[in-house]
Amino acid sequence: MPHRRLVVIFALLSTGAQAQWLNYSTPGVPRTRDGKPNLAAPAPRAANGKPDLSGVWHVHPTSLAEMKRLYGEHADVVNVPGMELDTISKYAINILVDFKPEESPMRPEAAEILRRRVAADFPDTNCLPAGIPTSGLVSEPIKMAQSPGVIVILYESEDGHRLIYTDGRKLTQGI
């Protein structure tokens, strides 16, 4: 019995911890006089002078009217709460949407595979990880942490992560 009480107490005490970051201001972010982030400020720079990508990023969503223009009136038949059609990028549905078929940058064999594939063949349709680039084009934000040798991307979507080595090392087969 004492063990059950301890588990219940621990569970009750830990429930508030998940939302504590909401009011946390990231140090170093340029701010306007009213305290909001200054989105017109110059991009922050890393020690090597290159842009520092560290921070929380969110895709610029495509409007519902534009989505319906591109994909038809029934484009919003799949409405997952929190991931409505007007909260994602048009590129999450079709990364090549801005290309005319004859101008596609894909090799012909890849274009043929994509043409044969139906919606049920895509990983995210089957509740599998969406992969790159789709994971960064949906409603959930991503967080980047940049250091001199690696950029780490944490995806809220499917709790995935990606490491991008920037120290010149060669990638091994399968990575």
Residue ranges of the domains in the chain? 64-136
CA distances from 12 to 1, 4, 24, 112, 121 (A): 17, 12, 23, 54, 42
Assigned token pair, 84: 């409505």
Residues of the chain with pLDDT under 50: 6, 12, 15-17, 19-20, 175
| Cβ proximity of 21 and 15 under 8 Å | no
Residues in the chain: 175
**Whether this model's pTM surpasses 0.85:** no
Q: What is the pLDDT of residues 37-70, one digit of tens each?
A: 898 999 888 888 889 999 888 889 999 899 889 8
Secondary structure percentages of the chain, helix, strand, coil, to 5: 35, 15, 50
Amino acid at 5: R
| φ and ψ of 91, to 5 deg | -75, -15
Name, in order, each residue with C-beta under 8 angstroms of 123's C-beta and a sequence gap of 6 or more.
129, 130, 131
Which residues does residue 55 pair with via DSSP β-bridges, in sequence order?
144
pLDDT at 80: 63
CA 14 from chain center: how many Å? 27
Continuous segment of H or E residues that includes residue 153: strand 150-155
| Cβ proximity of 21 and 13 under 8 Å | no
